[in-house]
Amino acid sequence: MSRVWMYTQESGYVSQQSLVGFTVEAIDGVIGHVDRQQDQPGRQHLVVDTGVWVFGRSVVVPAGAVTAIDTDAQTVKVSSTQEQIKAAPRFTTDSQTADDDYLSAVGNYYLTLQCPIAP
């Protein structure tokens, strides 16, 4: 797996830090809150509950897309726009977070965006 599945040093992430419940902000506004997170090396990501914003669905955001974490404000900022996140490969079941094909599709999608993710 590529670095898209790892937090950057600049993000402020601390190993094993729980981000569950944090508000997630895209470049152009709030997209939801962290519902679950995966800290397995090489597969770090957030499952973000978008609420009614994207018809009640959740999205997977790779850790490499996280640009800043503010523990005091309980916010996570990501390097994508709301539309880019909405257009990401659809997340439907938790089993996808262990599916190499699905994770590869998500990782490749985020790598094609103009995000500061090192390949």
User: pLDDT class for 34, splitting at 50, 70, 90?
Assistant: very high
Q: What is the pLDDT of residues 108-118, one digit of tens each?
A: 999 988 555 54
Q: What is the pLDDT of residues 69-108, one digit of tens each?
A: 999 999 999 999 999 998 899 888 888 888 899 999 999 9
Tokens coding 88? 């990401």
Q: Rg of the chain's alpha carbons, rounded to an integer?
A: 13
- Cα–Cα distance, 52 to 57 (Å, whole number): 8
Cβ neighbours of 14 (radius 10 Å): 10
The kind and range of the H/E element at 66 are strand 66-70
Task: Judge whether 79 and 68 are in contact, CB under 8 Å.
Answer: no
Task: Taking residues 12-24, report their average pLDDT.
Answer: 95
Looking at per-residue pLDDT, the higher value among 84 and 57 belongs to 84
